[in-house]
Structure 1
Amino acid sequence: MPSLKDVKMKIVGVRKTKQITKAMNMVASAKLRGAQTRIERFRPYAEKFQTVLGDLASKSDGSAHALLERRPEGRVSVIILATSDRGLCGSFNAMLIAKAMDAARMRTAEGKTVKFICVGKKGRDAIRKTDYEILSAYADVMGHFDFSLASSIGKDVVSGYTSKSMDEVILIYGEFVSVVKQIPLVQTLLPVETSTATVDSAADGVSRKGASEEYTYEPEVTQLLAAILPRFVNVQIYRGLLDTSASENAARMTAMDNATRNCDEMVGALTLLFNKTRQASITNELIDIVGGAEALK
């Protein structure tokens, strides 16, 4: 049985850990409010953009713009992986990385060369341990990014696809559903779908498509596509980053809340052990006193 001092030191240590986890929970909660507001404001715009562009692209053939060109014989696939910069958010990053690895292995099996663009330290560090090439990495940005980050990434992939150094571009990010639910999603950015773009969910396997509507466009479709296709890529990347940011803070808040409750349970168990150890010590001392008194008789 451990000594009273050892048990007391463990109780003190667990209580200090609880203070840390509780503080991190409050910080994550405050950050989540801001991140959730941003994605909830931007998501309707991104989804409508996706719906309108899908309808617009369906009115033209693949030769109308380079970003609509499908390359069945394509050999280079680029995966944009959005993760967090910091840990302590449960299995959130692990799910995204596992989804990216599944997508990479599937394309490698098809004979394609897979390359990565990593946003966030966790994804970058994980990909560095593999044999896949990292075209670019953006670390320490998830806490304070804006649309310029998405524009920079979008410019690189649009240029690469136009120059045919990339034949496919997909985006993997964590969709924020609620505080307790974040889903890793895979979205094909390039080539742009000629119907409403589809996002596949790793959790429920359900395709999400916009409602079918009729639009009238001016000027002609070709001119519109040239103007808005590159921006569409930027918008979808930014939407993925916003979703990932909100999901990260929600996952961290949940993880720290669970850790705080675990600390309470550990303190209760250690307090019970402390009381048992103290009672055993008192009993032993009483036995020694009684034994000594009997010996004197």
Structure 2
Amino acid sequence: MDLIYYDDSLKEQWDRLVKESRNGTFLFYRNYMEYHKEKYKDKSIVFKDGGKVVAAFPANFTNDYVYSHGGLTYGGIVLNFSLKFKAIDEIFKKILDRYREEGFTKIIYKAIPYIYSKVPSEEDLYILFRNKARLIRREISVTIALQGQFQINSSRRRIIRKAKGKNIIIEESTEYSEFWNLLTDNLKRRYNKLPVHSLKEISYLSEKFPNNIRLHQATLEGEVVAGVVAYENFRTCHLQYIADNDIGREEGALDLLISHLIERYRSLGFNYLDFGICTEDGGKYLNENLIYYKQSFGGTGVNYDTYEVDL
């Protein structure tokens, strides 16, 4: 099996692997990875077997550290369906050896949460353990198993019932500017932060990935009062951004919107609806109000883990 550093000539083969892989998501398509490529120095690796790309390692580097991936929610090894444990173990060894030979001292490895894989694909976690990797970050998310048993709690159902009696309109939109203003104001006021993506970036990405990135809005009298940006990955929907304004909060618009999305994705056959993490400072601080709110829709915990491997 041949190890090759990624370059633009491999874009088509890389993207084909991601599409056909057992654990890749659209975040690993090169058009997504490279929307902010000026911020991250690429050090991605591909593996070829018989001329075909069978695995990929999305990565960037800073000084003597390799990150998989610094610009994405998660990284890790993207695997062809045909690969068995022995081959994956060999791939991981070759990754470690190559980076070590080039003078890198650590790999920061953001594992793909299991909810994004088409089939169980946690060989990497065992291989990390065997290579004495250290868990350095654990962030808890809330996820609804849409095809299983879940229940929205009584107080949330009451708010949703009342909201249904208002003139709130739920709609999908391709125009992000009004919601982005609402989201930005919300994040500044509550957390003194900005969205990870700028309006220009999310507009670009939604145009590149119209079947994966969708904006769902709740409007009242023509004004956007709540919204959710949904990332659709195979049978998992991740709510990338969730926000409402004061009017939306008072009228229960966000709760109504989320209940609509739960039903939408359940009826479409999705397995999971993931609300995203409820922590700060690498998982050391838990936002208890936020996790309570997300779990009130019937969700339970999924961890987003990051490991450190010495080279």
Fold similarity call, TM over 0.5: no
Give the structure-2-normalised TM-score.
0.22
Q: Which has the larger strand fraction?
A: 2
Give the structure-1-normalised TM-score.
0.23
Q: Which has the larger helix fraction?
A: 1
- Structure with bigger gyration radius: 1
